[in-house]
Amino acid sequence: MLAHVFLFAFFCSSWMASALPDVVQIAGIFGEGDEQIEMAFRYAVRYINEEVKIKPRTRLRAITINLPAEDSFMASRLVCGTLNASVAGIFGPQSANVANHVQSICDAYEIPHIEARWDYKRTRDAYSINLYPHPKSLGEAYYDVLRYLEWEKFVILYENNESLVRLQQLLQGKHWEVHVRHLEGQDYRPLLKQIKKAQFNRIVLDVPEDRIYSVLEQAAQIGLMREYYSYFITSLDLHRVKLDEFRYVGPNITSLRLLDPKDTKVRMRVEKWQFGERLRGKMVDFDNFKIKTEAALMFDAVHFFAAALGDLDRSHDIRMNPLSCDTEYSWPHGNSLINYMKYYGVDPKVESYVLGLTGKIKFDREGFRTDFMLDILELTREVGLKKVGVWTKAGGANYTRSNVEVTQQVIESLKNRTLRVTTAISAPYTMLKDSSESLRGNDKYEGFCVDLIDAIAKSRGFNYTFYLVPDKAYGSKDKVTGQWDGMVRELLEHRADLGIVDFTITYEREEAIDFSMPFMNLGISIIYKKPQKKDPNLFSFMSPFSIDVWIYMATAYLGVSVLLFILARMAPSEWDSPYPCIQDPDELENCFTVVNSLWFMIATFLCQGADIAPRAVSTRIVAGIWWFFTLIMISSYTANLAAFLTVERMDSPIESAEDLAKQTKIKYGCKLDGSTYGFFRGSNIPTYQRMWAAMSNARPPVFTNTNDEGVDRVSKSGGMYAFLMESSSIEYVIERRCDLMQVGGLLDSKSYGIALPPDSPYTGAISSAILQLKENGTLHDLKKKWWERRKGGGHCTQEQSAKQSSAAAELGLANVGGVFVVLIGGMGLATIVAICEFIWNARELATDENASFCEELGTEVSFILKCSGNTKPVRKKYPSTPEEQLFTYGSYGASYGYSNKK
């Protein structure tokens, strides 16, 4: 708006002070191929004369000079001729060499020289002004866009050496790795092949506009124009290049433009221009608004010159003098006019500028056009080149589209596309169908991954073709050459768009290719042979108790028998008349001899009767506790024996990875070059390092080419080989092969994902489809289908659960220790009671015999300790009164022992 006010003000004022001649001549110098620029020059003059008008009577007149290419001598002569015709300004040429000659003449005769071409000058010549965006600012724009796009590694393809000046900021950038390649001749294919081989997928193309199509076409021929390649094209004229054929193959093409050919103002102006040219009988070659940036700049240059001339005319009496290259006289108003042009917008308080076809025309203090706005363009399938953001000096690159739009765009681009999916045979992920007919294409395959890709394809609307990876490998990197094999290689070389199987997401692979969200989580575990049913054992009746329990029981038996023997000797009640019919025996007998004690104990232990029975409290306690002990032990034995006779015992020599690492008898291995192999090779954990050393030094080798080979080897090894495999695959195998089992837990935690080529545009769309399938339960159903229901799944699980419910284990001391404690406690109690009885008896005898207690105790103890003989004489009570003596010796006969007191 301000600009219009500004222009309006100076045009009105210029009408009032009318010093300008009626005709002001300007010269345009054009070379070969500059036809459109020349037309723009002429049209701009007509536009100023007819629509803008410097002053009512003042007209611009265009003198055009057409030069053969690079002929500087001719240029100098022709420019001198124009000086003679009193020109107020010289426009062009586009060629740098000729322009420099023209520039020196203009400088000498103080004629403003207005250019519209790319020119890298650090300082500006006094009488020169260039409307082309300053290369340094353009370089900043390139830099900002690539930073925004997060390019980390790219190759610059250039044709002319000036590109290296133009792309200085990119070459010096610290955020990326830049490679530079020179395009030579007309056949770029050898170089492009090298680029493909070196796996560069981001390319900065800096070639003249008329070479762009040819480079892209040749790139397409060798497969560099696919969705995995991104191009940044530095030309501001990409809108003039035919890109339709690349729209559908999907390369990511980004570029910048100064001029929006579809902008209403530009469109209107170009339409008028076209119309005018047609009236004049000329066909304009910028159909579909393919106007060159340089042509638009030339139009703006004339417009800008006219505005400055009008402005200068307000304060100066401008006269046009014919000049000659043979004299030293110069044009006195040239200096003022160029200053008027240069200092538009210099006053920071007033934003004054001329609004041209290429946006605001204003210059910095150095007189360069550094502040301008560029549109950021991307090639889209729907509309071709589309504005997706803007670049400004102050704000950098700003994309106007949202992430949702980007995702939506990718999802749209996936529709009806046919993706090539590489896979390998690994049950149940991808398997060949069993069929008597010969199957073709995708019909040949079945499995979890096939169903998963099908579900994703349905949700995203793409088609797919499966193919088996030729070398059958999943993908490992050669440590020496750094080359990948297997599915990773297929993706890197863009032969496949997706890779799926039990493909583990690892750091090393993630560095080379892209992965989707994981579709399954798992960890490494051990698959091993189930222990086999043992041959019937002669001594299997001993199984219910562990060996130590048997030893304890035997010890208990002996101990209790001996205790019974001792306590019985101590207990007075156990001494009895050997002949019950003799009332007053001379001798007493104890039936608990050592042999009888052992017999009593074994008879009662085996639940049989014995013909002897304890009579003293202490011995009865011993017997009672022993019976209790017997009851519990026999019941436990009977119960456990029943279980042992019906259940197969499963004793595995290994229970964990540590067990494997500790021994050398059982060999173990894993799939060669898989992620499990990588895990052990790179582990820092001592146990796993030991395992790796054992595996890598084993002869014969313990690594296998496939998991199936490993599983077969475990099956046939009779317990001498264990295989380290991923838990999800182990689950699948043990559902079907009941002779195998998983041993121990998981050694790590990882996931399977769908692999994509690096920087694949489809990664987000595939990941979000996997998330959807996870959330709606499809993945869970697929897992159940392929693990439990199909291909004989499930029957080992049933067998296993039946066995588990009746599993039995021998009873150890921990299970029956309590009974032993009770037994020991009972024996202790019995001993205490026996001692009490013994002491009490000794005291009574001492009283009866008028002997001392200690003497009596000593006699009794020494008798017991002799441990020999199970009889002892009856000790008669000594009569204390004459009546007693009479009764004792008179009526019942003489007796030398005491009567036994029961």
**Rounded least distance, CB 520 to ligand GLU, Å:** 10
**Rounded least distance, CB 697 to ligand GLU, Å:** 20
Site residues for ligand GLU, 207-266, by CB under 6 A, read: none
Interatomic CA distance for residues 697 and 252, integer angstroms: 49
Number of neighbouring beta carbons within 10 Å of residue 64: 18
Nearer to ligand GLU, 733 or 830 (CB): 733
Binding mask 435-474 for ligand GLU (x = CB under 6 A): ---------------------------------------x
Nearer to ligand GLU, 446 or 502 (CB): 502
Q: Are 704 and 695 in contact (CB under 8 A)?
A: no
**Rounded least distance, CB 501 to ligand GLU, Å:** 7
Nearer to ligand GLU, 485 or 726 (CB): 726
Which of 110, 119, 726, 837 forms a contact with ligand GLU (CB under 6 A)?
A: 726
Residues 6 or more apart whose Cβ sits within 8 Å of residue 688: 657, 661, 679, 680, 747
According to the binding rule CB under 6 A, does residue 725 interact with ligand GLU? yes
Interatomic CA distance for residues 780 and 452, integer angstroms: 11
Nearer to ligand GLU, 31 or 499 (CB): 499
Q: Are 375 and 387 in contact (CB under 8 A)?
A: yes
**Rounded least distance, CB 722 to ligand GLU, Å:** 13
Site residues for ligand GLU, 836-855, by CB under 6 A, read: none
According to the binding rule CB under 6 A, does residue 490 interact with ligand GLU? no
Nearer to ligand GLU, 158 or 515 (CB): 515
**Rounded least distance, CB 689 to ligand GLU, Å:** 18
**Rounded least distance, CB 707 to ligand GLU, Å:** 6
Nearer to ligand GLU, 363 or 786 (CB): 786
Nearer to ligand GLU, 708 or 848 (CB): 708
Taking each helix axis as running N to C, give the angle between helix 72-84 and helix 96-109, from 0 to 180 degrees, rounded to the nearest 10.
30
Site residues for ligand GLU, 693-712, by CB under 6 A, read: 707
**Rounded least distance, CB 752 to ligand GLU, Å:** 7
Nearer to ligand GLU, 379 or 501 (CB): 501
Residue 833 vs residues 303, 618, 625, 821, 900: alpha-carbon distances, Å: 131, 5, 14, 18, 20
According to the binding rule CB under 6 A, does residue 516 interact with ligand GLU? no
Nearer to ligand GLU, 675 or 760 (CB): 675
Interatomic CA distance for residues 503 and 501, integer angstroms: 5
Nearer to ligand GLU, 543 or 707 (CB): 707
**Rounded least distance, CB 483 to ligand GLU, Å:** 17
Which of 430, 504, 728, 870 forms a contact with ligand GLU (CB under 6 A)?
A: 504
- Which residues face 157 on adjacent strands? 181, 205
Which residue has the CB atom at the shortest distance from ligand GLU? 674
Nearer to ligand GLU, 115 or 502 (CB): 502
With H, G, I as helix, E, B as strand and everything else as coil, classify residue 36. Answer: helix
Q: Are 655 and 531 in contact (CB under 8 A)?
A: no
Virtual CA dihedral for 734, 738, 739, 743, nearest 10 degrees?
40
According to the binding rule CB under 6 A, does residue 546 interact with ligand GLU? no
According to the binding rule CB under 6 A, does residue 723 interact with ligand GLU? no
Nearer to ligand GLU, 15 or 703 (CB): 703
Query: Exposed, middle or buried, 807 (CB in 10 Å: 0-12/13-18/19+)?
Result: exposed
Q: Are 252 and 227 in contact (CB under 8 A)?
A: yes
**Rounded least distance, CB 638 to ligand GLU, Å:** 48
With H, G, I as helix, E, B as strand and everything else as coil, classify residue 499. Answer: strand
**Rounded least distance, CB 478 to ligand GLU, Å:** 15
Which among 231, 493, 507 has a CA at the least distance from the CA of 379? 231
Site residues for ligand GLU, 133-162, by CB under 6 A, read: none
**Rounded least distance, CB 422 to ligand GLU, Å:** 13
Nearer to ligand GLU, 214 or 689 (CB): 689
According to the binding rule CB under 6 A, does residue 503 interact with ligand GLU? yes
Nearer to ligand GLU, 494 or 671 (CB): 671
**Rounded least distance, CB 720 to ligand GLU, Å:** 21
How far from chain centre, in Å, is Cα 481? 25
With H, G, I as helix, E, B as strand and everything else as coil, classify residue 677. Answer: helix
Interatomic CA distance for residues 107 and 461, integer angstroms: 66
Which among 211, 831, 762, 695 has a CA at the least distance from the CA of 494? 762
How many residues of this chain bind ligand GLU (CB under 6 A)? 13
Tell me which amino acid residue 691 is: M
Per-residue buried b or exposed e for 350-379, using 16+ beta carbons within 10 Å of the residue's own CB: eebbbbbbbbbbbbeeebbbbbbbbbbbbb
Binding mask 662-681 for ligand GLU (x = CB under 6 A): --------xx--xxxx----
Q: Are 182 and 158 in contact (CB under 8 A)?
A: yes
Q: Are 130 and 115 in contact (CB under 8 A)?
A: yes
* Strands lying side by side in the sheet with 498-499: 463-468, 418-423, 498-499, 750-756, 514-522
**Rounded least distance, CB 744 to ligand GLU, Å:** 15
Nearer to ligand GLU, 505 or 617 (CB): 505
Q: Are 465 and 421 in contact (CB under 8 A)?
A: yes
Interatomic CA distance for residues 69 and 29, integer angstroms: 11
According to the binding rule CB under 6 A, does residue 502 interact with ligand GLU? yes
Sole window of 274-282, 290-298, 499-507, 682-690 interacting with ligand GLU (rule: CB under 6 A): 499-507
Interatomic CA distance for residues 519 and 754, integer angstroms: 8
Q: Which residues of this chain interact with ligand GLU, rule CB under 6 A? A: 474, 502-504, 670-671, 674-677, 707, 725-726
